[in-house]
Structure 1
Amino acid sequence: MTIISQSADVALEPLARLAHHAWRIRRFALRMGEVQGQGYVGQALGWADVLATAYCHAMKVRPHDPLWDGRDRFLLSHGHYAIALYAALIEARIIPESELQTYGSDDSRLPMSGMASYTPGMEMSGGSLGQGLPIGVGMALALRMKNNPAWVFNSMSDGELDEGSTWEAAMSAAHHKLGNLIALVDLNKQQADGNSHEILDFEPLVDKWQAFGWYVQRVDGNDLAAVLAAFDQAMALTDAKPRVILFDTLMGKGVDFLETREKNHFIRVEPDEWQAAINVLDANYHANCEKGTH
């Protein structure tokens, strides 16, 4: 089933509906960031369009049964993106919106890094980069052995392209013809230590993934029409090969003064700036609605 948010039950065109979900996911992330006064909010804003498409269009989930065997699996390999996934899980009604006020607090189900033992809908505990794709390969193999038609989506950062385990898993996925595995790579071009290409240049990525035997697409990850088409194309492919979608994204997307920060890998802002960020996000969203650009 496709999940529609409670506030979006009105009839909307598909792109407008997804834009609505993405706006709410960004808003939830900002509200959680305000609770701690800091966080990986830039990534959440940049990745929101992909998460909205995954959870509100592509994936089969049951909000009140997150361990349903027929669900599609979404692996958050980059565990520091937990704030982004929590926002999507709230929008998908798997986690109550009221819990966002507990983000990062003692005994919360929403710790600052993704922990499968704490959070409904969290399929793996992320942290050390490069673990998600190997786990995804194992899950995809197991599902195929069980004749379970569920998909495995592995959400990962461009920093994980520096990890040898990622490329070992990529070879294994192609060797085993895992057509039920889709890797989603956030190419925001930033890592904790600097620009991704300066840390370890990984281009040309399309050529590399193709050489490893994957079906590859590269799109603007903040263009909802392109994101939607990429998901649909990956899931419609009949070839028995794994798929990867490379998404070029902008950290801080939707909040102008966060988009242009020199360093927004981990964001700390003044207390009054959180509401300012929400105001800018809301204004940009409603302006785009009036222009009909959603």
Structure 2
Amino acid sequence: MTSLDTHEAASPAAAPAEERIERLKAAAGRIRGYALHMGEVQGQGYIGQALGVADVLAVVYADQLRHRAKDPHWEDRDRFLLSIGHYAIALYAALAEAGTIPVDELDTYGSDDSRLPMSGMASYTPGMEISGGSLGHGLTVATGMALGLRHLGNPARVFNLLSDGELDEGSTWEAAMACAHHGLDNVTAIVDVNALQADGPTAGVLRTEPVLDKWEAFGWKAIRVDGNDIPALVAAFDELREHRGSPSVLICDTRIGYGVPLLMEREKAHFMRVEEHEWQITRAQLQEGLSR
């Protein structure tokens, strides 16, 4: 397993378009492989979300985010805030791919004294900007960070990955309103719309659609794409990075368990328990998909 080069400055146009897309697809495949490995360590976890959002994280970390793999506190880094703490398995996979976390450390996922707890903790994990868990705080922190960076004249951007379930939280919309009011065009929110949350289908718990219209009504530049389509993600992120005057949001429709049919078919997919004999099947299915 190999990791991506360190990115001290994002340079999306540095490679030919086809080469760029193939590189990102390969990165997404490795992120999925790392996530499956961590899931197998515990036999359970938020594996479906990690597989679903792998393409998004590959594009962010390998193509858009300014960061130094070995210096996660670099002052001029772009900030990536994971407010959905249970997606930590996905972020650990991305951080391993980026070179911030040693790949062999993924073996400790969810274990006692590990730097990789099941729910993300900034005090434990290099590259983890905030502790997540209770939803609705990521965008509020992003707003404050973005204001502070602007005050300091720091050109860093702030990304916040949140979920469609997190749109149930009123604090998310308060932050959205404040972000737009202050014209924080250094903020990009990323909403993972996988249509499922802990209590069931998102539409049945609390209907959030029309998601794009709501963000636009709050004064945000909004784009909606298939979150498992890397060319579409690249085009959308490229457009948003050039946008000025208001915050931006990329709404990503993803599929839980994407890339592993066995897990995509699970009825109870928010927190998955996978039997010992099924791991070989998941690995084979992922490898088959990557070889196409």
Q: Secondary structure at the match of 2:24?
A: helix
Question: For 1:128, which of 129, 134, 146 is the aligned residue?
Answer: 134
Q: Which residue is equivalent to 2:10?
A: none
- Runs of at least 4 residues of structure 1 off by over 4 A? none
Q: Which residue is equivalent to 2:120?
A: 114
CA distance in 1, matches of 2:213, 2:79: 27
Shift of 1:275: 2.3
Give, as a single letter, the amino acid of the residue that structure 1 aligns with 2:254: T
- CA deviation string 1:218-264 (max 9, x = no partner): 00000000011111111011x21000000000000000111111121
Q: Secondary structure at the match of 1:252?
A: coil
Shift of 1:91: 0.1
The answer on 1:160 being equivalent to 2:160 is no
Q: Which residue is equivalent to 2:194?
A: 188
- CA deviation string 1:126-166 (max 9, x = no partner): 00000000000000000000100001000001111000000
Q: Secondary structure at the match of 1:250?
A: coil
Shift of 1:4: 2.5
Shift of 1:115: 0.1
CA distance in 1, matches of 2:280, 2:26: 19
The answer on 1:267 being equivalent to 2:276 is no
Q: Which residue is equivalent to 1:40?
A: 46
RMSD (Å), alpha carbons: 1.2
CA distance in 1, matches of 2:279, 2:62: 26
Give, as a single letter, the amino acid of the residue that structure 1 aligns with 2:152: K
TM-score normalized with structure 1 length:
0.93
Q: Which residue is equivalent to 2:4?
A: 4
Q: Which residue is equivalent to 1:291?
A: none
Provide the identity percentage.
Answer: 60
Q: Secondary structure at the match of 1:13?
A: helix
CA distance in 2, matches of 1:195, 1:51: 23
CA distance in 1, matches of 2:281, 2:62: 27
- Equivalent pairs counted in the alignment come to 280
Pairing of 1:143-292 with structure 2 (within 5 A): 143-237=149-243, 239-287=244-292
CA distance in 2, matches of 1:74, 1:264: 26
CA distance in 2, matches of 1:5, 1:60: 12
Q: Which residue is equivalent to 1:292?
A: none
Q: Which residue is equivalent to 2:12?
A: none
Give, as a single letter, the amino acid of the residue that structure 2 aligns with 1:47: V
Q: Secondary structure at the match of 2:145?
A: helix
What are the ranges of 5 or more consecutive residues in structure 2 without an aligned counterpart?
Answer: 7-15
Q: Which residue is equivalent to 1:63?
A: 69
What are the ranges of 5 or more consecutive residues in structure 1 without an aligned counterpart?
Answer: 288-294
Q: Which moved more, 1:51-60 or 1:272-281?
A: 272-281
Shift of 1:5: 5.2
Give, as a single letter, the amino acid of the residue that structure 2 aligns with 1:22: A
CA distance in 2, matches of 1:177, 1:152: 13
CA distance in 1, matches of 2:48, 2:135: 18
Pairing of 1:49-128 with structure 2 (within 5 A): 49-128=55-134
CA distance in 2, matches of 1:173, 1:286: 42
- Equivalent residues of 1:31, 1:274 under 8 A apart: no
Q: Which moved more, 1:133-142 or 1:260-269?
A: 260-269
